[in-house]
Structure 1
Amino acid sequence: MLEPHVATPFDKASKADAAPLSRKQLAIREREKELMAIAREVVEREGFAHLTMDKIAAASDYSKGTVYNHFSSKEDLIAALAIEAVLKEITFFQRAFNFEGTSRDKVVAMHAGYHIFSQLEPVMSMCAIVSRTSAVKEKASTARLAKLEEMEAKMVALGEAFLQDGIQKGELVLPDERVAHSIVFANWAMAFGTNVLLNNAPESQCVSRLVRTDSALVNVNFLLDGMGWLPLSSDVDYRAVWHRAETTLFANEIALLNPS
């Protein structure tokens, strides 16, 4: 049984963003989603370097001009995909924040969700990084980049909420408040790097020689144990916690990854 929903910094913003859309706005949004789905397919098949607006138009029912009405460039389209990725990641993290258990259980659930998302949406997962390259930032629209900054700020705030939960419960002690920013970054950097390598470089020596199948969890425990985040992995079976998160929070996504 899950705990009652716990408020996070994202909740208030989410309610403000939920203003009703007009019929025209809904049509525009649906068209953009369609074009973004086509872009994901192109990237999955050919990579980011071969994504072009011509290919998007050719694979859709719309003219090239219509595509440009929605996205000023392919870089703007990549930024839009990154925004969509961050929004989806936030929903996964929100579920994890309301996971039943200790503060560390919740962080493990967050990493489980991110691991699942990176497997379900490998292109979307990569977009968050690609959108930060100078090639994209120089050509994406100002409005799109501003929206991306806004979404990333919300995700960072949610990441900090996990830390505050641990501190309030006495399960995490920080020597200095400034360390919190480093911990949020370390969790994101470790998770992103781990999942990129597991998903995209399985034949590399560093990955192929791994003997355990739960390498993402192993890395999570290395990081959290190093922070002294209680309970330590020597005292709790976090494989069971990870599995519980999969079955109670992300069952639908797991079913998509492992269709019967």
Structure 2
Amino acid sequence: MASESLPVTRKEREFFAREKLILTQARRLLIEKGFQAWNMDQLAEAVEYSKGTLYQHFTSKEDLVLGVATDSLKTRADWFEKASKFKGTTRERSRAIGFACCEFAEKCPDYFHIEMMLKSASFWEKASEKRRLAHAFQSARCWRLLNNIVVEAMALGDLPRDGHTPEQATFALVSVTVGSHVMSQEPQILVQAGITNPMKAVRLNQDMVCDGLGWKPLMKDFDYSETDRRIVKEVFPDAVNWLNG
């Protein structure tokens, strides 16, 4: 599926602007009330359009929430792409993508909660094929950007194969990252684990996976604090806010 084309005609621009407004207000309701405590009537009132107009854009409430998630996921993929161009070793570039993921979690804290809802088959089935394809496209962008670096790392000898494929290594990194972000939203678990800086914990988990895979240079052999300073300066200047939290 190709990326969405930009609106050309006045009617298309108006449709696009209205959809953006609907997504913005739906995201606000999700953050404030959760999924169950609001309905399409409330959203229609918030955007000052009829409920029928909402259904011209989205086939159901689930379809709309998937649209919200996909809108956020596109931002995540865009930041991954930006991070992938960081100048450094393959592990430093993967670290930059890990940085992008934490920056995204800081700026879009609702995303991982919504993403967990999407895992429900009943939720997914109520969304339109158009929305499912759009979400899959942005998800594939995120995967591909990291996997390309893993493939390059194995080709250069930075990352030993040791019986696993690039896809398996990518899966390990993605799994621990997403799982860490989800777990970091549970205050009781953070207290039990003695974690006061969730983002630092997420990045430590990423480092442990990379070291476990043998991705050179290992943490004991390289000062990644300097890499972090460069990532902040060159790619994500706002990250200093959570990095020092």
Q: TM-score, normalised by structure 1?
A: 0.83
Matching of residue 204 in structure 1 with residue 194 in structure 2: no
The equivalent residue for 2:20 is 33
Q: Distance in 2 between matches of 1:55 and 1:141?
A: 22
Residue pair 1:225, 1:233 contacting (<8 A) in 2 also? yes
Contact 1:117 1:125 in 2 (8 A): no
Counterparts of residues 127-166 of structure 1 (less than 5 Å): 127-166=114-153
Aligned to 1:186: 172
Secondary structure at 1:204 match in 2: helix
- Whole-angstrom distance in 2 between the partners of 1:24 and 1:254: 39
Match of 1:226 in 2: 212
Q: Which residue of 2 aligns with 1:9?
A: none
Which whole-Å CA distance do the structure 2 matches of 1:60 and 1:186 have between them? 41
Instruction: Answer with 36-45 or 221-230: which moved more.
Output: 36-45
Please give the per-residue CA displacement for 1:60-97, whole angstroms capped at 9, x wherever unaligned: 11111111111111100111122212211111111111
Name the CA distance, whole Å, in 2 between partners of 1:53 and 1:160: 39
Q: 1:217 aligns with which of 203, 206, 209?
A: 203
CA distance in 2, matches of 1:34, 1:121: 17
1:61-100 pair list within 5 angstroms: 61-100=48-87
Per chain length, whose mean CA-contact separation is higher, i.e. which structure has more relative contact order (CA < 8 Å, sep 6+)? Answer: 1
Q: Does 1:60 align with 2:47?
A: yes
Unaligned runs of 5+ in 1: 1-12
Secondary structure at the aligned position of 1:218 is classed as helix
Distance 1:184 1:62, change over 3 A: same
Residue deviations 1:30-56, cap 9 Å, x none?
111111111111111111222421221
Aligned residues: 242
* Paired residues of 1:86 and 1:128 also in contact (CA < 8 A): no
Q: Give yes or no for the alignment of 1:239 onto 2:203.
A: no
1:256/1:39 CA distance change after superposition, 3 Å: farther
Distance 1:156 1:26 in 2: 31
* Distance of aligned partners of 1:257 and 1:52 in 2 relative to their CA distance in 1, 3 Å threshold: farther
Opposite residue 217 of structure 1, the aligned amino acid is: R
Partner of 1:231: helix, strand, or coil? coil
State the 1:255 CA deviation: 7.6
> Are the aligned partners of 1:39 and 1:56 in contact in 2 as well (CA < 8 Å)?
yes
Identity level (%): 27
> What is the CA-CA distance between 1:256 and the residue it aligns to?
8.2
Cα distance change of structure 1 residues 209 and 118 upon mapping to structure 2, 3 Å threshold: same
Unmatched runs of 5 consecutive residues or more in structure 2: none
Q: CA deviation at 1:147?
A: 2.0
CA distance in 1 between counterparts of 2:242 and 2:33 reads 22
Distance across 1 between alignment mates of 2:216 and 2:183: 28
How far apart, in 2, do the equivalents of 1:31 and 1:115 lie? 30
The one-character-per-residue Cα deviations of 1:227-246 (angstroms, maximum 9, x if unpaired) are 00000000112233233212
